[in-house]
Amino acid sequence: MSVEFDFNFVPGLPVGKWSGFPKYNFVGGHNDAEHVPVDALIAAATSVLKREGFSLATYGLNSGPLGYRPLRDFLVGKLKSHAGIACEADEILITSGSLQGLDLVNSLLLSPGDTVLVEQDCYGGSLSRLSRRGAKVVGIPLDSGGLRIDVVANALADLSRRGIRPKYLYTIPTVQNPTGTIMGEERRVELLRLSRAYGVPIFEDECYSDLIWDGQRPPALYAISNGVGVIHIGSFSKSISPALRVGYIVASWDVLSRILALKIDAGSGALEQMVLAEFCSAHFTEHVLKLNRVLRGKLETLIAALAEQFGTAAEFEDPKGGIFLWLKLPDGVDTQKLAQVALAEGLAINPGPEWSTDKVHATTRLRLCSANPSKEVIRQGVARLAQICHREFGVPTRIANIKRG
């Protein structure tokens, strides 16, 4: 197979071969392997296939292009009780993960050169998608209460003066990625007021919102706006399984009917939708409660390991939910270099600049995910990271109260 053949590719770089997960894996939205509800998923698969397996013979089962109806029915109830969203099953489109939701909404709204507003520290997959589409990205800083609405107001006023109307403002208001913040209700109301004043829709991504320790959260932006001017996406990746690739878009029919016209994949995977619907109707609430205790325990292990190994050299807030920490290391640390060196030693982190619109601000920052590694691996990995960081950048200088050698 070594003969050359000129395929005349559209420009782009190839990827390397996959060689397995790194030993200390602090990246990716992976979940805890021991707490995948395997037995209940087997029971769900068995019962739903016995009842409706014949319907696998048709594209879209018997539910049409929006996705398996019982899953959309479950979501109607969950979105109401969890996020305050009043919607109908026909205002929900099941997608192949929330990533397909990102792609579809971007296809609906963005042309090259369009401007969008995003949280300054932001999910890397959203930023890379905007970059691929040639969008101009304006980052808005966050504080411990989430997106800074005062800066949103200034940015919108400034853009408006320059004749620019952003295509949307993208936000992860509830357990923000990577900061873990939850935007309060007052800010949400004010954000929607600005959205209407400037005619800039809100693109609300709630893919982490099920993972909140005390379960308390403000209503979704979609709920407060009653669905007007907001597109909402979510996912089962974090609450059940990332490998399943099931997410959803909530939007009014005038929007969803246009998104549906762009979803030319002949439907998302039916078996996963069927099994999820069957499982979630019976077990979702109980499963998420249990999972959150596990995830909180792992995050506490991460926090304790960081306190021991980095001391005051690692600054972060203790988030109210989620599976990651957003750390600041001392000035002088370059987390992109740190990530590169660490990966060569079997330890993976997300360097800040890949997760932020402000590369300078993010140079000393990084994201660590704690859901997948065991507590022992978390402890070992953080110790390893501190060693590497000390070797490369001279910090942290102490382990607990002992000077690092």
Task: Supply the minimum distance, in Å, between the C-beta of residue 87 and a second copy.
Answer: 9
Residue whose CB is less far from a second copy, 222 or 310:
222
Sign of the torsion formed by the C-alpha atoms of 19, 25, 29 and 35: positive
Task: Supply the minimum distance, in Å, between the C-beta of residue 335 and a second copy.
Answer: 22
Select from 36, 12, 29, 104 the least CA-distant residue to 283. 36
Residue whose CB is less far from a second copy, 357 or 372:
372
Residue whose CB is less far from a second copy, 111 or 401:
111
**Residues 382 and 311: beta-carbon distance below 8 Å:** no
Task: Supply the minimum distance, in Å, between the C-beta of residue 310 and a second copy.
Answer: 27
Task: Supply the minimum distance, in Å, between the C-beta of residue 290 and a second copy.
Answer: 14
Task: Supply the minimum distance, in Å, between the C-beta of residue 298 and a second copy.
Answer: 12
Residue whose CB is less far from a second copy, 246 or 313:
246
Task: Supply the minimum distance, in Å, between the C-beta of residue 242 and a second copy.
Answer: 5
Task: Supply the minimum distance, in Å, between the C-beta of residue 286 and a second copy.
Answer: 18
Distance CA 131, CA 357 (A): 11
Which residues make beta-bridge pairs with 94?
A: 248
* 101 token code pair: 């939701």
Residue whose CB is less far from a second copy, 1 or 400:
1
**Residues 265 and 225: beta-carbon distance below 8 Å:** no
- Reported as half-sphere exposure (CB side, CA atoms, 13 A), residue 374 has a value of 5
Cα–Cα separations (whole angstroms), residue 374 to 163, 293, 294? 52, 14, 11
Which residues make beta-bridge pairs with 321?
A: 212
Task: Supply the minimum distance, in Å, between the C-beta of residue 224 and a second copy.
Answer: 13
Residue whose CB is less far from a second copy, 107 or 281:
107
Distance CA 326, CA 315 (A): 8
Distance CA 175, CA 322 (A): 6
Distance CA 289, CA 44 (A): 19
- Start-to-end CA distance of the chain, whole Å, equals 52
Alpha helix (H) residue ranges in 199-356: 221-224, 253-262, 270-310, 335-344
- Which residues are CB-neighbours of 253 under 8 A, at least 6 positions away? 90, 91
Distance CA 330, CA 338 (A): 13
* 44 token code pair: 């769900």
**Residues 233 and 105: beta-carbon distance below 8 Å:** yes
- At 293, the amino acid letter reads R
Task: Supply the minimum distance, in Å, between the C-beta of residue 350 and a second copy.
Answer: 14
Element (H, E) at 292: helix 270-310
Residue whose CB is less far from a second copy, 51 or 337:
51
Task: Supply the minimum distance, in Å, between the C-beta of residue 178 and a second copy.
Answer: 17
* 126 token code pair: 């959203």
Residue whose CB is less far from a second copy, 157 or 262:
262
Residue whose CB is less far from a second copy, 112 or 405:
112
* 189 token code pair: 């109301």
Residue whose CB is less far from a second copy, 108 or 305:
108
